[in-house]
Structure 1
Protein backbone atom coordinates (compact mmCIF):
# COMPACT_ATOMS: atom_id res chain seq x y z
CA UNK A 1 0.00 0.00 0.00
CA UNK A 2 1.26 3.46 -0.79
CA UNK A 3 -0.06 5.08 2.41
CA UNK A 4 1.81 4.92 5.71
CA UNK A 5 -0.47 2.79 7.86
CA UNK A 6 0.00 1.85 11.50
CA UNK A 7 -2.23 -0.52 13.41
CA UNK A 8 -3.19 -0.52 17.07
CA UNK A 9 -4.79 -3.35 19.03
CA UNK A 10 -6.29 -1.57 22.02
CA UNK A 11 -6.58 -3.36 25.37
CA UNK A 12 -7.39 -0.18 27.32
CA UNK A 13 -9.74 1.64 27.45
CA UNK A 14 -12.15 -1.09 26.38
CA UNK A 15 -15.84 -1.58 27.12
CA UNK A 16 -17.09 -4.80 28.67
CA UNK A 17 -20.54 -6.28 28.03
CA UNK A 18 -22.01 -4.14 30.83
CA UNK A 19 -20.61 -0.93 29.33
CA UNK A 20 -17.88 -0.50 31.95
CA UNK A 21 -14.30 0.57 31.20
CA UNK A 22 -11.92 -2.38 31.48
CA UNK A 23 -8.46 -3.52 30.44
CA UNK A 24 -8.40 -6.79 28.50
CA UNK A 25 -5.57 -9.30 28.40
CA UNK A 26 -3.05 -9.50 25.61
CA UNK A 27 -3.08 -12.93 23.96
CA UNK A 28 -0.24 -14.80 22.35
CA UNK A 29 -2.35 -15.52 19.25
CA UNK A 30 -3.14 -11.83 18.72
CA UNK A 31 0.55 -10.92 18.95
CA UNK A 32 1.63 -13.54 16.42
CA UNK A 33 -1.29 -13.58 13.98
CA UNK A 34 -1.83 -9.84 13.75
CA UNK A 35 1.92 -9.30 13.32
CA UNK A 36 1.84 -11.72 10.40
CA UNK A 37 -1.08 -9.90 8.78
CA UNK A 38 0.59 -6.53 9.33
CA UNK A 39 3.86 -7.72 7.82
CA UNK A 40 2.03 -9.30 4.86
CA UNK A 41 0.16 -6.08 4.05
CA UNK A 42 3.05 -3.66 4.63
CA UNK A 43 1.86 -2.05 7.87
CA UNK A 44 4.65 0.13 9.29
CA UNK A 45 4.14 -0.82 12.95
CA UNK A 46 1.67 -2.83 15.00
CA UNK A 47 1.10 -1.24 18.40
CA UNK A 48 -0.14 -3.39 21.27
CA UNK A 49 -1.84 -0.90 23.58
CA UNK A 50 -1.92 -1.78 27.28
CA UNK A 51 -0.90 0.12 30.41
CA UNK A 52 -0.43 -3.01 32.56
CA UNK A 53 3.15 -3.88 33.55
CA UNK A 54 2.49 -7.66 33.75
CA UNK A 55 1.14 -7.52 30.18
CA UNK A 56 4.26 -5.62 29.08
CA UNK A 57 6.38 -8.34 30.66
CA UNK A 58 4.42 -11.03 28.79
CA UNK A 59 4.67 -9.26 25.42
CA UNK A 60 8.38 -8.58 25.89
CA UNK A 61 8.95 -12.23 26.81
CA UNK A 62 7.15 -13.41 23.66
CA UNK A 63 8.91 -10.93 21.38
CA UNK A 64 12.25 -11.63 23.05
CA UNK A 65 11.87 -15.37 22.56
CA UNK A 66 11.71 -14.97 18.80
CA UNK A 67 14.74 -12.68 18.80
CA UNK A 68 16.92 -15.41 20.36
CA UNK A 69 19.29 -17.15 17.96
CA UNK A 70 17.79 -20.62 18.41
CA UNK A 71 14.17 -19.51 17.90
CA UNK A 72 15.10 -17.19 15.04
CA UNK A 73 16.97 -20.00 13.29
CA UNK A 74 14.03 -22.36 13.80
CA UNK A 75 11.43 -19.96 12.38
CA UNK A 76 12.93 -16.83 10.78
CA UNK A 77 9.54 -15.89 9.27
CA UNK A 78 8.08 -15.51 12.77
CA UNK A 79 10.93 -13.22 13.80
CA UNK A 80 10.42 -11.18 10.63
CA UNK A 81 6.69 -10.84 11.25
CA UNK A 82 7.14 -9.82 14.88
CA UNK A 83 9.63 -7.11 13.88
CA UNK A 84 6.68 -4.73 13.29
CA UNK A 85 5.23 -5.18 16.81
CA UNK A 86 5.62 -2.36 19.34
CA UNK A 87 4.34 -2.00 22.88
CA UNK A 88 2.75 1.26 24.10
CA UNK A 89 0.89 2.25 27.26
CA UNK A 90 -1.87 4.18 25.50
CA UNK A 91 -3.39 5.20 22.18
CA UNK A 92 -1.95 8.66 22.80
CA UNK A 93 1.55 7.19 23.10
CA UNK A 94 1.06 5.44 19.74
CA UNK A 95 -0.06 8.73 18.20
CA UNK A 96 3.04 10.47 19.58
CA UNK A 97 5.37 7.77 18.20
CA UNK A 98 3.82 8.12 14.74
CA UNK A 99 4.01 11.92 14.98
CA UNK A 100 7.73 11.67 15.82
CA UNK A 101 8.30 9.71 12.60
CA UNK A 102 6.13 11.80 10.25
CA UNK A 103 6.05 15.23 11.89
CA UNK A 104 2.26 15.26 11.79
CA UNK A 105 -0.48 13.55 13.81
CA UNK A 106 -1.90 10.44 12.18
CA UNK A 107 -5.46 10.16 10.95
CA UNK A 108 -6.90 8.15 13.86
CA UNK A 109 -9.31 5.60 12.42
CA UNK A 110 -11.53 3.21 14.36
CA UNK A 111 -13.28 -0.05 13.58
CA UNK A 112 -16.16 -1.81 15.28
CA UNK A 113 -18.69 -4.49 14.51
CA UNK A 114 -21.50 -2.53 16.19
CA UNK A 115 -21.03 0.90 14.59
CA UNK A 116 -24.34 2.50 13.63
CA UNK A 117 -22.69 5.36 11.72
CA UNK A 118 -19.38 5.45 9.92
CA UNK A 119 -17.34 7.95 7.99
CA UNK A 120 -16.75 5.75 4.98
CA UNK A 121 -15.08 2.80 3.37
CA UNK A 122 -11.43 1.95 2.85
CA UNK A 123 -11.08 3.95 -0.38
CA UNK A 124 -12.51 7.04 1.36
CA UNK A 125 -9.99 6.64 4.18
CA UNK A 126 -7.04 6.31 1.79
CA UNK A 127 -8.21 9.35 -0.19
CA UNK A 128 -8.54 11.47 2.96
CA UNK A 129 -5.10 10.43 4.22
CA UNK A 130 -3.58 11.20 0.82
CA UNK A 131 -5.22 14.64 0.55
CA UNK A 132 -4.30 15.49 4.17
CA UNK A 133 -0.77 14.03 3.69
CA UNK A 134 -1.07 12.13 6.97
CA UNK A 135 -0.34 8.57 8.03
CA UNK A 136 -3.20 6.38 9.22
CA UNK A 137 -3.47 4.90 12.74
CA UNK A 138 -6.03 2.10 12.40
CA UNK A 139 -7.42 1.02 15.79
CA UNK A 140 -9.09 -2.25 16.70
CA UNK A 141 -10.75 -3.01 20.01
CA UNK A 142 -10.80 -6.13 22.13
CA UNK A 143 -13.46 -7.18 24.64
CA UNK A 144 -16.78 -5.58 23.64
CA UNK A 145 -15.14 -2.80 21.66
CA UNK A 146 -13.33 0.49 21.91
CA UNK A 147 -14.43 2.78 24.72
CA UNK A 148 -16.13 6.09 23.90
CA UNK A 149 -12.93 7.99 24.85
CA UNK A 150 -11.12 6.34 21.93
CA UNK A 151 -14.05 6.70 19.56
CA UNK A 152 -14.32 10.42 20.35
CA UNK A 153 -10.60 10.86 19.56
CA UNK A 154 -11.03 9.30 16.11
CA UNK A 155 -11.44 11.32 12.93
CA UNK A 156 -12.59 8.42 10.77
CA UNK A 157 -14.72 5.31 11.40
CA UNK A 158 -14.62 2.49 8.88
CA UNK A 159 -17.79 0.68 7.92
CA UNK A 160 -18.22 -2.56 9.90
CA UNK A 161 -17.63 -5.96 8.35
CA UNK A 162 -20.99 -7.57 7.70
CA UNK A 163 -21.32 -11.34 7.47
CA UNK A 164 -23.69 -13.38 5.36
CA UNK A 165 -25.29 -15.41 8.15
CA UNK A 166 -29.06 -15.60 7.69
CA UNK A 167 -29.67 -15.17 11.42
CA UNK A 168 -27.48 -12.05 11.60
CA UNK A 169 -24.62 -13.62 13.56
CA UNK A 170 -21.64 -11.27 13.27
CA UNK A 171 -18.83 -11.88 15.77
CA UNK A 172 -15.43 -12.26 14.14
CA UNK A 173 -12.23 -12.65 16.10
CA UNK A 174 -10.15 -9.47 16.05
CA UNK A 175 -7.46 -11.41 14.15
CA UNK A 176 -9.92 -12.18 11.36
CA UNK A 177 -11.24 -8.62 11.28
CA UNK A 178 -7.71 -7.21 10.99
CA UNK A 179 -6.92 -9.48 8.04
CA UNK A 180 -10.15 -8.56 6.25
CA UNK A 181 -9.69 -4.81 6.73
CA UNK A 182 -6.05 -4.95 5.63
CA UNK A 183 -7.01 -6.89 2.51
CA UNK A 184 -9.72 -4.32 1.75
CA UNK A 185 -7.23 -1.47 2.21
CA UNK A 186 -4.73 -3.17 -0.11
CA UNK A 187 -7.41 -3.69 -2.78
CA UNK A 188 -8.62 -0.09 -2.42
CA UNK A 189 -5.03 1.13 -2.74
CA UNK A 190 -4.60 -0.86 -5.96
CA UNK A 191 -7.72 0.67 -7.53
CA UNK A 192 -6.42 4.18 -6.75
CA UNK A 193 -3.18 3.77 -8.71
Structure 2
Protein backbone atom coordinates (compact mmCIF):
# COMPACT_ATOMS: atom_id res chain seq x y z
CA UNK A 1 0.00 0.00 0.00
CA UNK A 2 1.15 3.51 -0.74
CA UNK A 3 1.65 5.97 2.10
CA UNK A 4 -1.96 6.34 3.20
CA UNK A 5 -2.91 8.08 6.43
CA UNK A 6 -6.44 8.57 7.75
CA UNK A 7 -8.10 11.10 10.03
CA UNK A 8 -11.48 11.17 11.73
CA UNK A 9 -12.32 14.86 12.03
CA UNK A 10 -14.45 16.22 14.87
CA UNK A 11 -13.72 19.89 14.08
CA UNK A 12 -14.51 21.81 11.94
CA UNK A 13 -17.72 19.94 11.20
CA UNK A 14 -21.16 21.03 10.00
CA UNK A 15 -24.31 20.41 11.97
CA UNK A 16 -27.65 19.89 10.24
CA UNK A 17 -28.15 23.68 9.97
CA UNK A 18 -24.72 24.12 8.37
CA UNK A 19 -23.17 25.75 11.45
CA UNK A 20 -19.55 25.04 12.38
CA UNK A 21 -19.42 22.70 15.38
CA UNK A 22 -17.20 20.25 17.20
CA UNK A 23 -18.65 16.76 17.54
CA UNK A 24 -18.04 14.27 20.32
CA UNK A 25 -15.48 11.52 20.09
CA UNK A 26 -16.98 8.05 20.52
CA UNK A 27 -15.32 4.97 21.93
CA UNK A 28 -16.61 2.78 19.07
CA UNK A 29 -15.12 5.07 16.41
CA UNK A 30 -11.73 4.99 18.09
CA UNK A 31 -11.62 1.20 18.31
CA UNK A 32 -13.36 0.17 15.11
CA UNK A 33 -11.64 2.65 12.80
CA UNK A 34 -8.24 1.74 14.28
CA UNK A 35 -8.99 -1.92 13.53
CA UNK A 36 -9.94 -1.13 9.92
CA UNK A 37 -6.87 1.07 9.48
CA UNK A 38 -4.53 -1.62 10.81
CA UNK A 39 -6.21 -4.32 8.70
CA UNK A 40 -5.84 -2.32 5.48
CA UNK A 41 -2.30 -1.03 6.11
CA UNK A 42 -2.96 2.63 6.95
CA UNK A 43 0.24 4.11 8.40
CA UNK A 44 -1.36 6.34 11.05
CA UNK A 45 -4.92 7.05 12.23
CA UNK A 46 -5.41 10.61 13.49
CA UNK A 47 -8.28 11.53 15.79
CA UNK A 48 -8.84 15.27 15.30
CA UNK A 49 -10.43 17.36 18.06
CA UNK A 50 -9.37 20.61 19.73
CA UNK A 51 -11.37 20.04 22.95
CA UNK A 52 -9.40 19.29 26.12
CA UNK A 53 -12.20 17.16 27.59
CA UNK A 54 -12.19 15.04 24.42
CA UNK A 55 -8.39 14.77 24.59
CA UNK A 56 -8.69 13.45 28.13
CA UNK A 57 -11.22 10.82 27.00
CA UNK A 58 -9.14 9.68 24.02
CA UNK A 59 -5.97 9.50 26.10
CA UNK A 60 -7.80 7.42 28.70
CA UNK A 61 -9.08 4.98 26.05
CA UNK A 62 -5.73 4.67 24.27
CA UNK A 63 -3.87 4.48 27.59
CA UNK A 64 -6.07 1.64 28.76
CA UNK A 65 -4.90 -0.54 25.87
CA UNK A 66 -1.27 0.55 26.17
CA UNK A 67 -1.22 -0.93 29.68
CA UNK A 68 0.59 -4.28 29.66
CA UNK A 69 -2.16 -6.08 31.57
CA UNK A 70 -4.89 -5.00 29.13
CA UNK A 71 -2.66 -5.58 26.12
CA UNK A 72 -2.07 -9.16 27.20
CA UNK A 73 -5.82 -9.64 27.55
CA UNK A 74 -6.49 -8.34 24.01
CA UNK A 75 -3.27 -7.97 21.99
CA UNK A 76 -5.16 -7.48 18.71
CA UNK A 77 -6.86 -4.37 20.09
CA UNK A 78 -3.58 -3.08 21.47
CA UNK A 79 -1.92 -3.66 18.09
CA UNK A 80 -4.67 -1.81 16.19
CA UNK A 81 -4.72 1.14 18.58
CA UNK A 82 -0.94 1.50 18.33
CA UNK A 83 -1.42 3.47 15.09
CA UNK A 84 -3.99 5.87 16.58
CA UNK A 85 -2.87 9.32 17.61
CA UNK A 86 -4.62 12.44 18.83
CA UNK A 87 -4.16 15.88 17.23
CA UNK A 88 -5.83 19.27 17.62
CA UNK A 89 -6.39 19.98 13.93
CA UNK A 90 -6.20 18.73 10.37
CA UNK A 91 -3.21 21.04 9.92
CA UNK A 92 -1.41 19.27 12.78
CA UNK A 93 -2.01 15.90 11.11
CA UNK A 94 -0.70 17.23 7.78
CA UNK A 95 2.39 18.66 9.47
CA UNK A 96 3.07 15.35 11.24
CA UNK A 97 2.91 13.46 7.95
CA UNK A 98 5.12 15.97 6.14
CA UNK A 99 7.70 15.75 8.93
CA UNK A 100 7.74 11.93 8.75
CA UNK A 101 7.60 11.57 4.95
CA UNK A 102 9.60 14.62 3.90
CA UNK A 103 6.85 15.57 1.43
CA UNK A 104 3.65 17.55 1.66
CA UNK A 105 0.76 15.06 1.66
CA UNK A 106 -2.21 15.15 -0.64
CA UNK A 107 -5.41 15.97 1.21
CA UNK A 108 -8.33 13.77 0.15
CA UNK A 109 -11.83 14.17 1.55
CA UNK A 110 -14.95 12.05 1.72
CA UNK A 111 -18.59 12.95 2.10
CA UNK A 112 -21.99 11.38 1.61
CA UNK A 113 -23.52 14.51 0.09
CA UNK A 114 -20.89 15.73 -2.36
CA UNK A 115 -22.42 17.25 -5.48
CA UNK A 116 -19.10 17.25 -7.31
CA UNK A 117 -16.10 15.05 -6.81
CA UNK A 118 -12.88 14.01 -8.50
CA UNK A 119 -13.14 10.25 -8.67
CA UNK A 120 -12.70 6.81 -7.24
CA UNK A 121 -10.21 5.24 -4.88
CA UNK A 122 -8.31 3.96 -7.94
CA UNK A 123 -8.08 7.53 -9.25
CA UNK A 124 -6.70 8.60 -5.87
CA UNK A 125 -4.08 5.81 -5.95
CA UNK A 126 -3.05 6.92 -9.45
CA UNK A 127 -2.73 10.53 -8.29
CA UNK A 128 -0.63 9.49 -5.30
CA UNK A 129 1.60 7.36 -7.53
CA UNK A 130 2.09 10.06 -10.15
CA UNK A 131 3.05 12.61 -7.50
CA UNK A 132 4.91 10.16 -5.25
CA UNK A 133 3.24 11.82 -2.28
CA UNK A 134 1.62 10.43 0.85
CA UNK A 135 -2.09 11.06 1.35
CA UNK A 136 -4.23 12.05 4.31
CA UNK A 137 -7.76 10.75 3.82
CA UNK A 138 -10.31 12.68 5.89
CA UNK A 139 -13.62 11.44 7.23
CA UNK A 140 -16.04 13.80 8.90
CA UNK A 141 -18.48 13.27 11.71
CA UNK A 142 -21.78 15.07 12.31
CA UNK A 143 -23.19 16.31 9.00
CA UNK A 144 -19.81 16.27 7.28
CA UNK A 145 -16.60 18.20 6.89
CA UNK A 146 -16.91 21.97 6.97
CA UNK A 147 -16.48 23.87 3.71
CA UNK A 148 -13.22 25.37 4.99
CA UNK A 149 -11.69 21.87 4.99
CA UNK A 150 -13.19 20.90 1.63
CA UNK A 151 -11.71 24.02 0.01
CA UNK A 152 -8.19 22.94 1.06
CA UNK A 153 -8.54 19.45 -0.41
CA UNK A 154 -6.60 18.14 -3.39
CA UNK A 155 -9.08 15.35 -4.11
CA UNK A 156 -12.72 14.58 -3.34
CA UNK A 157 -13.71 10.93 -3.39
CA UNK A 158 -17.06 10.04 -4.86
CA UNK A 159 -19.72 9.20 -2.25
CA UNK A 160 -20.61 5.62 -1.44
CA UNK A 161 -23.94 4.98 -3.11
CA UNK A 162 -26.12 2.09 -2.10
CA UNK A 163 -28.86 0.23 -3.90
CA UNK A 164 -31.86 1.72 -2.12
CA UNK A 165 -34.25 3.16 -4.71
CA UNK A 166 -35.05 6.17 -2.54
CA UNK A 167 -31.38 7.19 -2.54
CA UNK A 168 -30.99 6.67 1.20
CA UNK A 169 -27.32 7.29 2.00
CA UNK A 170 -26.47 7.47 5.69
CA UNK A 171 -23.73 5.03 6.67
CA UNK A 172 -21.95 5.18 9.99
CA UNK A 173 -18.48 6.65 9.63
CA UNK A 174 -17.05 3.31 10.79
CA UNK A 175 -18.78 1.53 7.91
CA UNK A 176 -17.71 4.16 5.39
CA UNK A 177 -14.07 3.90 6.47
CA UNK A 178 -14.09 0.12 6.03
CA UNK A 179 -15.72 0.34 2.59
CA UNK A 180 -13.36 3.02 1.27
CA UNK A 181 -10.30 1.19 2.60
CA UNK A 182 -11.44 -2.08 1.07
CA UNK A 183 -11.94 -0.34 -2.28
CA UNK A 184 -8.56 1.36 -1.96
CA UNK A 185 -6.73 -1.95 -1.51
CA UNK A 186 -8.43 -3.64 -4.48
CA UNK A 187 -6.58 -3.77 -7.79
1:132 equivalent in structure 2:
131
* 1:98, distance to aligned residue in structure 2 (A): 0.2
Gaps of 5+ in 1: none
2:169 equivalent in structure 1:
170
Cα deviations across residues 29-80 of structure 1 (Å, max 9, x unaligned)?
0000000000000000000000001100000000000111211111000000
1:14 equivalent in structure 2:
13
1:95 equivalent in structure 2:
94
Runs (4+) of structure 1 exceeding 3 A deviation are none
State whether structure 2 residue 183 is matched by structure 1 residue 181: no
Matches within 5 A, 1:1-193: 1=1, 3-187=2-186, 191=187
Give the Cα–Cα distance (whole angstroms) in 2 for the partners of residues 123 and 170 of structure 1.
Answer: 22
Cα RMSD after superposing both structures: 0.6
Q: Aligned residue pairs: how many?
A: 187
* 1:9, distance to aligned residue in structure 2 (A): 0.3
Give the Cα–Cα distance (whole angstroms) in 2 for the partners of residues 133 and 50 of structure 1.
Answer: 29
Give the Cα–Cα distance (whole angstroms) in 2 for the partners of residues 169 and 121 of structure 1.
Answer: 20
Give the Cα–Cα distance (whole angstroms) in 1 for the partners of residues 6 and 116 of structure 2.
Answer: 21
Give the Cα–Cα distance (whole angstroms) in 1 for the partners of residues 53 and 182 of structure 2.
Answer: 33
Cα deviations across residues 118-176 of structure 1 (Å, max 9, x unaligned)?
11111111111111110010000000000001000100000000011122211000000
The secondary structure found in structure 1 opposite 2:113 is: coil
TM normalised by structure 2 equals 0.99
Gaps of 5+ in 2: none
The secondary structure found in structure 2 opposite 1:153 is: coil
* 1:108, distance to aligned residue in structure 2 (A): 0.1
The secondary structure found in structure 1 opposite 2:143 is: coil
